[in-house]
Amino acid sequence: MGGVFGEGFGLMVTGMGVVFALLALLVLAVQGMSRLAHAVGGPPLAASAPGPAGVDGADTELVAAVTAAVTAYRKGVRQRP
C-alpha cells in the first residue's frame, strides 16, 4: 500500500514540476516578445488631442435618451419576481 502512495506522490511532484517549468517558460517567452515589440516598434503613440470639454446640444439629447432607457430597464428588472 505504501508503494502506491509513493508512486502517486512522485507522479504528483513530477506533474507539478512540469507545469511550473512550462509556465515559467511561457512567462519568459511573453517577456521576450514584449521586449522585441518595443525594440521593433516605434515610440508609443501620444494622445492627439484631449477630449471635448463640454457636451454639445445634440449629445445632450442622446445622453438624456440613453439615461431614460437605462432607468426604464432597471425599473422593469426590479419589478420582476
Query: Each residue of 8-61: pLDDT tens digit?
Result: 999 999 999 999 999 999 999 999 999 998 888 866 666 666 555 555 556 888
Query: Each residue of 58-78: pLDDT tens digit?
Result: 688 888 889 999 998 988 876
Give the pLDDT score at 56. 56
**Does the predicted TM-score (pTM) go above 0.85?**
no
In a domain, 14, yes or no: yes
CA distance linking residue 30 with residue 81, whole number of Å = 48
- State the residue for C-alpha cell 511561457: 26
CA distance linking residue 77 with residue 81, whole number of Å = 9
**In the chain, how many domains are there?**
1
Domain assignment of residue 16, given as a range: 2-40+57-79
The residue ranking higher by pLDDT, 2 or 50, is 2
In a domain, 45, yes or no: no
